[in-house]
Structure 1
Amino acid sequence: MTGIHTQGEKHLVLISGRAHPALAKEVADELDIEVLPSTVYDFANGEIYVRFSESVRGADAFVIQSHTSPINTWVMEQLLMVDALKRASAKRITVVAPCYPYARQDKKHRGREPISARLIADLFMQAGADRIMSVDLHAAQVQGFFDGPVDHLWAMPILTDYVRSRVDTSNVTVVSPDAGRIRVAEMWAAKLGGGPLAFVHKTRDVTRPNQAVANRVVGDVEGRTCVLVDDLIDTGGTIAEAVRVLLSEGAKDVIVAATHGMLSDPAAQRLSECGAREIIVTDTLPIEPEKRFDQLTVLPIAPLLARAIREVFDDGSVTSLFDGNA
């Protein structure tokens, strides 16, 4: 069936953009429904056409889109889908953006810059979205950019359960790739048995995108298995350098865990050659076959998204999925 119906008014439909249809299909399978049929195509000049093949009147609609390259195309497509739902009298519209677009532009580093993450929230709201759902926001304050409920989901339980099966937790040091994510590293350490923490001191030139220099490790990593944790991996430069610094400081081995595997070129080459034993990400974003390499492990995010969607549809508690940690 194409939706979940409850006695009376409630009717759940799942709509997918074209960026990552496999993820939408997996979420639909978890919910035991089908993705709503739709017609979506590009005109010759690049404009996008959207139409849903079935009525969505009175529906609780969830529009899922993974914001990967070409990100501006997928943002626009999702906005058009939200607008179409609003004009077709959907009762409630939830934007499901597993990896929130423009999340790293959450503040002004210098004068005359936009706050792009706020603009994205405004665009979704103006299009007609009532709610946003996302996984591991780059900065928690993005939740405050949207004038409505924001479900901030955490992939940490998925990642920590897997990592726990891959390491001797008595010899683990959790490492943050910079000082700004120490709090996240602390939560990871608690999940992995309360071992010590370390962080990599790095410098970044705000005028040069995707470039940072890992300088030194703060903390004792000698002889230990290091679990290097971050929210996303883009070009892989920061993570690859951090792995090399950790190994040079005497780490026994390094496992990298991140939620969003953007893996923009040349990330696959950098990560495969950096010396890490394993690179673990989830499939919030599609990872093409040519970007996969031997050390890469991709964990499914669909069960988490489906559980959260079900909680929202049933007016339940999304926070309960994370034992109060979200």
Structure 2
Amino acid sequence: MKTLNLISPLSSEILFQIFTFPDGQPHIKLDLNTVHEVKSCCILARISNMNDLFLVLAAKNALDTAEVEEVELYISYLMAARMDRVMTSGEPFSLKIVADILNLGNFKRIKIFDPHSDVATALVNRSVAIDNAILVRMAIDDFTEKYSTNNNYCLVSPDSGALKKVYNVAQQLGVHDVAECIKHRDVSTGQLSGFKTFEENFEQKTCFIVDDICDGGGTFAGIAALLKSRNAGNVVLVVSHGIFSRGLTIAGIDHIYTTDSYQSFGEVPPNFKSYEVGTMLRP
């Protein structure tokens, strides 16, 4: 199976050109020499805006025209995944809109890297979720090798919504120590009003906060302060999708591990590490 890599075009086995028409319409043109006699293909893409979504469907249509029989789609980042229900009256069900468009592509299979909830795979036809267990394992291994003299650590769920996913990752990795945090948020304003945890004393354990997405980082700053008030050691953030709209440092977070699912990073702080998401999506 050949790959059409929309995230890293220089790594793509199927060559292509992307350009934009004067009216703003994105366009893709395949190099037919690299598609000749290809029967199966996977498109590797991040869908962070509507142009990305259009290009994915355009690429699928071009592959169909080139008579590629089976096309799979591997999504590193799925826009609107957090809008998995109608949050407040008068707002759209954005994830359903995105899913309905993706379903027009009639892909053989779709892999989605760590979507926010099971709603994504329920709405997107023939889709499966790829969790972030590989990322968490690499983060734990890297951190313990570089900074820790023992294996005294735990995984931390930042809120009740993430708890099931964190327990699933812990089970895969054989980690028995999981701590739960609770946050209070006003859904109409997005404002956070407080954090709680059931743990009284972390006994200087390294705390790996595991979540799917980091936007501004306010949640993790609040949780880091809570954990350290309960005698946590290093607080490490492991997050699948790094938006980092307020920068690559977060108050109270000692180290950050993420992927290039949403964006590629240039110069980063010494306590920040990003992994290539393609290695987690491919078979």
Which interval holds the TM-score relative to the shorter structure? 0.7 to 0.9
Task: Identify the residue that residue 311 of structure 1 maps to in structure 2.
Answer: none
> How far apart are 1:112 and its partner, in Å?
3.5
Pick from 71, 81, 94: which aligns with 1:116? 94
User: What do residues 266-301 of structure 1 show as CA deviations (whole Å, max 9, x unaligned)?
Assistant: 1324x2xx13221111222323325x2221111233
User: What do residues 50-69 of structure 1 show as CA deviations (whole Å, max 9, x unaligned)?
Assistant: 2212146763121121134x
Where in structure 2 are the equivalents of 1:158-177 lying within 5 Å? 158-167=135-144, 170-177=151-158
Q: Distance in 2 between matches of 1:191 and 1:63?
A: 28
Q: Distance in 1 between matches of 2:100 and 2:83?
A: 14
Task: Identify the residue that residue 8 of structure 2 maps to in structure 1.
Answer: 21
Q: Distance in 2 between matches of 1:192 and 1:128?
A: 34
Match of 2:43, SS state, is strand
Task: Identify the residue that residue 215 of structure 2 maps to in structure 1.
Answer: 234
Task: Identify the residue that residue 204 of structure 2 maps to in structure 1.
Answer: 223
Where in structure 2 are the equivalents of 1:18-167 lying within 5 Å? 20-21=7-8, 25=11, 34-54=12-32, 55=35, 59-68=39-48, 71-147=49-125, 149-167=126-144
Distance 1:212 1:86, change over 3 A: farther
Matched, 1:202 2:183: yes
> How far apart are 1:143 and its partner, in Å?
1.1
Pick from 255, 272, 293: which aligns with 2:236? 255
Matched, 1:267 2:243: no
Q: Which of 113-122 and 160-169 deviates more?
A: 160-169
Q: Whose helix proportion is higher, 1 or 2? A: 1
Match of 1:180, SS state, is helix
Pick from 262, 265, 270: which aligns with 1:294? 270
Q: Distance in 2 between matches of 1:51 and 1:65?
A: 16
Q: Distance in 1 between matches of 2:193 and 2:15?
A: 47
CA contact (8 A) 1:94 1:132 kept: yes
CA contact (8 A) 1:173 1:189 kept: no
Q: Distance in 2 between matches of 1:137 and 1:21?
A: 21
Superposition TM-score, scaled by structure 2 size: 0.86
Could you tell me which runs of 5 or more consecutive residues in structure 2 were left unpaired when the two chains were aligned: none
- RMSD over equivalenced CA pairs, Å: 2.4
CA contact (8 A) 1:173 1:226 kept: yes
Match of 1:41, SS state, is strand
Pick from 150, 154, 160: which aligns with 1:179? 160
Task: Identify the residue that residue 321 of structure 1 maps to in structure 2.
Answer: none
Task: Identify the residue that residue 259 of structure 2 maps to in structure 1.
Answer: 282
Q: Distance in 2 between matches of 1:56 and 1:120?
A: 31
Task: Identify the residue that residue 305 of structure 1 maps to in structure 2.
Answer: 281
CA contact (8 A) 1:261 1:287 kept: no
Could you tell me which runs of 5 or more consecutive residues in structure 1 were left unpaired when the two chains were aligned: 1-11, 26-33, 309-326
Task: Identify the residue that residue 226 of structure 2 maps to in structure 1.
Answer: 245
Superposition TM-score, scaled by structure 1 size: 0.76
Q: Distance in 2 between matches of 1:218 and 1:103?
A: 29
Q: Distance in 2 between matches of 1:299 and 1:146?
A: 26
Amino acid at match of 1:293: P
Q: Distance in 2 between matches of 1:193 and 1:234?
A: 29
Q: Distance in 2 between matches of 1:133 and 1:288?
A: 23
CA contact (8 A) 1:261 1:284 kept: yes
Q: Distance in 2 between matches of 1:63 and 1:196?
A: 38
> How far apart are 1:161 and its partner, in Å?
3.9
> How far apart are 1:172 and its partner, in Å?
1.7
CA contact (8 A) 1:40 1:51 kept: yes
Q: Distance in 2 between matches of 1:255 and 1:80?
A: 39
User: What do residues 203-260 of structure 1 show as CA deviations (whole Å, max 9, x unaligned)?
Assistant: 1122235x43442222232432211110111221211221122112221221111112
Aligned length: 276
